[in-house]
Structure 1
Amino acid sequence: MNNILSFITDNILRNPPLLLGLIAALGLVLQKKKAAEVVKGSLLAAFGMVILQTGTDMLSGSIAPINSAVQALAGSGAAEGLNDATFTASYGGSIGLAMFLGLILHLLIARFTPVKTIFLTGHMLWWFPFIFVAAGVEGGLTGWGLIIFGAVASALYWSIMPWLLRGYVRDVTQDDSFTLGHPSGILALISGFVAKRVGNKEKSTEDIKLPQSLSFFREVSITGGIVIFIMFIIVGIIIPTLAEGQNLFMYAVTQGFTFGAGLVIMLQGVRMLINQIVPAFKGISEKLVPNSLPAFDCPILFNYKPNAVLIGFIAAMVVSTILVIISNSFEVFGVMLVPLVITSFFECGTAAVIGEGQGGMKGAIVGTSVAAIIMVVLVGVSAVMLTSTIQNWILIFGGNDLSLFAMIAKLIANLFGGIF
């Protein structure tokens, strides 16, 4: 049984292209489509996920040197140990069982309660049990008590957070066929709440008027590439070691090209995935879990408000980096924070899209700026609360739902630690 669970966990649940391909195939089979349509739809869904992942990896890789350089500027960094590899080596089995049991409970929630979302962001099916098991360990849980705690907490998150976000997603997409399944949830909710009260929907980021000679800026891949180019030039002037002995100008050009190309590839993957998964999912919704909504990764939203993504990224980077430097200078959290470049792009980019849907350009900027402040607070507090398990991992990838719900889970685990 352990071998079977390990195979399913490692080769299907932690393999997003295969997982999404199988889900598309199941949906098409339930709709009694012809074999050729099932094969075509499932393979195109898998290809779309591979393309999306490739684009996402290119984006992350292109901004990673900035992250390292800003860390050096802030005088901070995460040491080795207390990370995902060391923690998984000790608790990987517990995480896998928590994920498997959590998925069963998640599907039961969707089938038998009014909360009808099915979480389809493959890699997050691992990372949420990971952080909940870590929180349980911090709280003193062991054995099956720890596994059940991680499973229940994961199932509740996968079910409830996408359900809370569905209205905000609908306002962005004008479509109620899917919702968001990503740890940007709390930042998106904050951004949307603020944007609705301070923004103006009539003035959209996507309606920015440019003279004909600058019309190329309306292509998000070009704008994104130029933004990254400028960021590399600025950071490279401040931190000369950024270019690693290369010509700074040419290094910045290359990274800008990579970022722009990554956006093109990622958005193409998004389009392919939506075109295949949403229609195929109707079969699952009609036959197995009536009226359910698929919850997708955050790049799904980037195609709707691409300008908002870049504006949110810039706003979040400026606000959060200033706060990180201040926090480190005054030892606010008692731990050295790492500037959150990746979280600023993906989570705060998503928050900007949601803010744009509620309050246009002003909503996107103000909502994301407030979310960026919360992001720094979340990563600082969660790093302190996870001091003996995954502190260094959360310093790099936290500041989002992973931080917030790890903190909540830690407090709950403290209550039960003495019992289990």
Structure 2
Amino acid sequence: MNALLVPLTWFSQNILQKPAFFVGLIVFIGYILLKKKPHDVYAGFIKATVGYMILDVGAGGLVSTFRPILAALNVKFNIGAAVIDPYFGLTAANTKIAEEFPAFTAAAATALLIGFFWNILLVALRKITKIRTLFITGHIMVQQAATISLILLVTIPMIGKNSFLGTALIGILCGTYWAVSSNMTVEATQRLTKGGGFAIGHQQQFAIWFVDKVAHKLGKKEENLDDLKLPGFLNIFHDTVVASATLMLVFFGAILAILGPEIMSNPEVITSGTLYSPEKQSFFMYVFQTALTFSVYIFVLMQGVRMFVGELTNAFQGISAKLLPGSFPAVDVAASYGFGSAAAPLFGFATGLVGQLITIVLLIIFRNPVLIITGFVPVFFDNAAIAVYADKRGGWKAAVILSFISGVLQVALGAVAVSLLGLANFGGYHGNIDFEIPWVPFAYIFKYIGIIGYALVMIFLFAIPQLQFAKAKDKEAYYRGDVPAE
């Protein structure tokens, strides 16, 4: 017995509890199964492991830069703050799990693996489950696995009592959500792309399904965004670095300016991170540097994600292609942008941002205990996708209305989620529209009904593809993803 326990303990301590090595191991195994050459297997393992380590550097930088501002806000105004962005949310979720649920430090990485293979199984059994899509957007899976892990650990205490069972339940829920939500986008995406042969596996699958159902009731598709003239300066926001730096400068620059030099140079308040020193730097440059530092760490984090996800996705795609021929790959939502109006992504960004800003102002006026700060990913990708799909079905009016509503919900329900999950001291929440609806309602179901709520959510999710299939007039066309001609 001891001979078995010793290697298992070593594996748990050195691999399972070290997400970088665990992700590297997943890629290592995947490439072996794909019969890659030994040097390619080795290179894939190294790139995946180092990429995750780079992610950790970026996440640590965000924490060290943000915590002094959180401390200052608590001292001066007695409020917390949270950025609604999946990268800030990933950092916040992992930090809270490490501090409050140490037995689940590697839960998200393990849940990702469990969820992926669960998704494969659901597609393999598609004649029963009616699910046709495999979610292969690896960096999104990493973010969502961390957030879903935190949601379940906070809202269903019994899950936190058994790390093996708890991690399995988290993974199964992740995989079910990935399979079902991406399956919901097949018809909408086939309609948008005129049979492009892919689905969406990102952060707004429920929203895409909803938009596809209601957009044509809010406007006319003939009156689309291609007929509108948009300001040329918006083109600078095509660049992720410029867009994220500008948003961070606007929001954190304003916050630091309000806090003032006195509190930011007080060593009793700013006990970690960079303390402002009037003798060495002007306060204006301190604010400017601090705001842009967020963009630096976001960029570092994203580079790490891209590095290991490139290997992870290759391993996943090879496995899925061998096991599930004929299934729909669920890919990054940006793949859909080229099939709509060229103006739609920036239009959605602009109108969604207006909705967010109005809601942030209202939360401040009504003295919400948490200051919500907008992040680049939800305000761009969610609302860009909504505008692309809405414009195609209901023209610019539908794009305006639905992108604006999305911005409002991102902030309002983001504030609810931060309060529910106790994330005000950790500085972030996922923020994307699917993690407002349906995940905030799901979290309340878990909180008040516990493990029974978990079962009800699973039943709800599994019922969705069954209803989609039942509604399809041509059952074989459902599996092919065919949509009626318009």
Regarding TM over 0.5, the answer is yes
1:351 matched residue in structure 2 = 382
Measured against aligned partners, the alpha-carbon deviations of 1:301-348 in whole angstroms (never above 9, x if no partner) come to 89998746853673354133123224436xxxxxx3341434xx3334
Residue 77 of structure 1, CA deviation: 1.6
SS in 1 for 2:407: helix
Structure 1 residues 58, 194: closer, same or farther in 2, change over 3 A? farther
1:325 alignment partner, one of 360, 364, 377: 364
Distance 1:319 1:77 in 2: 19
Aligned partners of 1:195 and 1:356 also within 8 Å: no
2:269 matched residue in structure 1 = none
Structure 1 residues 87, 232: closer, same or farther in 2, change over 3 A? closer
Q: Describe how 1:158-307 pairs up with structure 2 within 5 A.
A: 158-165=178-185, 171=192, 176-177=197-198, 179-182=200-203, 185-186=205-206, 198=218, 202-203=224-225, 208=230, 210=232, 219=239, 221-222=241-242, 224-241=244-261, 245=276, 247-254=282-289, 258=293, 281-292=316-327, 307=346
1:137 alignment partner, one of 157, 174, 186: 157
2:445 matched residue in structure 1 = 408
Distance 1:49 1:302 in 2: 28
Structure 1 residues 162, 122: closer, same or farther in 2, change over 3 A? same
Distance 2:346 2:411 in 1: 24
Aligned-partner residue type, residue 79 of structure 2: S
1:128 aligns with 2:148: yes
Aligned partners of 1:169 and 1:180 also within 8 Å: no
Distance 1:259 1:99 in 2: 27
Distance 1:205 1:252 in 2: 41
Residue 59 of structure 1, CA deviation: 8.2
2:101 alignment partner, one of 78, 82, 88: 88
Across the two proteins, how many residue pairs are aligned to each other?
Answer: 397
2:406 matched residue in structure 1 = 371
Aligned-partner residue type, residue 125 of structure 2: F
Structure 1 residues 40, 154: closer, same or farther in 2, change over 3 A? closer
Measured against aligned partners, the alpha-carbon deviations of 1:31-88 in whole angstroms (never above 9, x if no partner) come to x5555666666766777777788778888988888888888897522799x9434431
Aligned partners of 2:417 and 2:440 also within 8 Å: yes
Structure 1 residues 371, 278: closer, same or farther in 2, change over 3 A? same
Aligned partners of 1:309 and 1:352 also within 8 Å: yes
- The TM-score, its normalising length taken from structure 1, stands at 0.65
Distance 1:269 1:391 in 2: 24
2:31 matched residue in structure 1 = 25
Residue 353 of structure 1, CA deviation: 2.1
Measured against aligned partners, the alpha-carbon deviations of 1:370-391 in whole angstroms (never above 9, x if no partner) come to 12332344345556666xxx56
SS in 2 for 1:122: helix
Distance 1:248 1:205 in 2: 46
SS in 1 for 2:142: coil
Aligned partners of 2:67 and 2:427 also within 8 Å: no
**Worse-matched range after superposition: 168-177 or 365-374:** 168-177
Distance 1:100 1:215 in 2: 38
Aligned partners of 2:418 and 2:429 also within 8 Å: no
1:341 alignment partner, one of 374, 377, 387: 374
Distance 2:306 2:336 in 1: 10
1:11 matched residue in structure 2 = 18
Distance 1:325 1:127 in 2: 26
Distance 1:290 1:381 in 2: 41
1:153 alignment partner, one of 155, 173, 182: 173
Distance 2:216 2:77 in 1: 34
User: Which ranges of structure 1 fall in alignment gaps of 5 or more residues?
Assistant: 330-335
Larger radius of gyration: 2
Distance 2:333 2:16 in 1: 23
RMSD between aligned residues: 5.5
Aligned-partner residue type, residue 77 of structure 1: G
Q: Describe how 1:68-107 pairs up with structure 2 within 5 A.
A: 76-77=79-80, 83-89=96-102, 104-107=117-120
Percentage of matched positions with identical amino acids = 19
Aligned-partner residue type, residue 144 of structure 2: M
Aligned-partner residue type, residue 375 of structure 1: Q
Aligned-partner residue type, residue 180 of structure 1: G
Structure 1 residues 217, 391: closer, same or farther in 2, change over 3 A? closer
Aligned-partner residue type, residue 180 of structure 2: I
Distance 1:49 1:408 in 2: 33
Aligned partners of 2:80 and 2:425 also within 8 Å: no
Distance 2:42 2:227 in 1: 39
Aligned partners of 1:118 and 1:159 also within 8 Å: yes
SS in 2 for 1:328: coil
1:332 matched residue in structure 2 = none
Aligned-partner residue type, residue 10 of structure 1: Q
Distance 1:217 1:103 in 2: 33
Residue 117 of structure 1, CA deviation: 1.7
1:117 alignment partner, one of 134, 141, 159: 134
Distance 2:196 2:218 in 1: 24
